[in-house]
Structure 1
Amino acid sequence: MNLNQVTIPSLNVEKATAFYKTLGLILIVDALPRYVRFECPNGDSTLSIHKVDTLQNGDGISLYFEVENIEETVKTLKQKGITFTTNILEQTWLWNEVHLYDLDNNKIIIFHAGENRKNPPWRIN
C-alpha cells in the first residue's frame, strides 16, 4: 500500500492554488474554482484542494513536506513572502522542522529527517 494522494478543503481554491504554487508544488489538474491537483516536485505524491463552504472547527489537517536543505528552503520561501510561525526547530525525534499555516488554517510542516523518518534508532522490527 502506498499513500500517494491527500485532499484538503479550502474556502477559496484560487488563493490556495497560488499559495501552494509559491511553495513549489506543480499544478497538474485545473478545475477552478472548485478543484485543483498538484504533484510534488520530488516523489510520486499528489495534493488536491477542493472547494468547501465551511471549514471544520478545531485542529485540522497537518501536511508534512520533506526537503533536502531546510535552511535554504526557508530562506527561499521567506523571499517569496511566506510567513512561518516558528524558526527551524531541532526536534527530539531527530527531525529539523519549521511550521506555517496555509490560507485555510491547515498546518504545514516543512522538515528534513533523512534516514530518521522511516528508520529512527527506536524503530521496531
Structure 2
Amino acid sequence: MNLNQITVPSLDVLKSIAFYKTLGLELIVEALPHYARFVCPEGNTTFSIHLVDKLIKGQGIYVYFECENLDERVSDLQKNGIAFDELPSDRSWLWREARLKDPDGNLLILYFAGENRLNPPWRI
C-alpha cells in the first residue's frame, strides 16, 4: 500500500490554490470552484483541496511536508509572504519542524527527520 493523496477542506479554493503554489506544490487539476489537486515537488504524492460550506471544528488534521533543506525553505517562504506560527526547531521526537496554517486554518508542518523519519531509536 502507498499513500496517494491527502485532501483538505477549503472555503475558498482559489485562495488556497495561490497559497499552495507559493509553498511550491505544482497545480495539476483545477476544477473551480470545487476542487484542485497538486503534485508534490519530490516523489509523486498528490495533495488536493475541496470546497466545503463550513470547516470542521477543533484541531482538525495535521499535514506534514518533508523538506531536506527546512531552514532555507522556511526563509524563502517568509520572503514570499508566508507567515509561520512556529519557526524551525528541534523536537523531542528527533524531527526539526516549522508550523503554519493555510488560509482555511489547516495545520501544516514542514519538517526534516532524516533517518529518524522511519527509524527512530524507539522503533518496534
TM-score category, normalised to shorter length: over 0.9
Q: What SS class does the counterpart of residue 86 from structure 2 fall into? A: coil
Aligned partner of 2:45 in structure 1 is: 45
- For 1:36, the equivalent position in structure 2 comes to 36
Q: Which residue is equivalent to 2:8?
A: 8
1:40 positional shift: 0.1
Whole-angstrom distance in 2 between the partners of 1:25 and 1:74:
14
TM-score by length of 2: 0.98
Do 1:5 and 1:47's aligned partners in 2 also have CA atoms closer than 8 Å? yes
Distance 1:87 1:45 in 2: 25
The DSSP-based 3-state class of the residue aligned with 1:88 is: strand
The unaligned stretches of length 5 or more in structure 2 are none
SS at match of 2:78: helix
Instruction: Could you list the structure 1 runs, at least 4 aligned residues long, displaced by more than 2 angstroms after superposition.
Output: none
Normalising by structure 1, we get a TM-score of: 0.97
Q: Find the counterpart in structure 2 of residue 115 from structure 1.
A: 115
How far residue 53 of structure 1 moved from its aligned partner, in angstroms, is 0.6
Please state whether the residue corresponding to 1:58 is helix, strand or coil.
coil
Report the count of equivalent residues.
Answer: 124
Give me the whole-angstrom Cα distance separating, in 2, the residues matched to 1:44 and 1:4: 8
Percent same amino acid among aligned pairs?
58
Asked if the contact 1:60–1:105 (Cα under 8 Å) also holds between the matched residues in 2, the reply is no
1:76 partner letter:
D
User: Aligned to 1:7, what secondary structure does the other structure show?
Assistant: strand
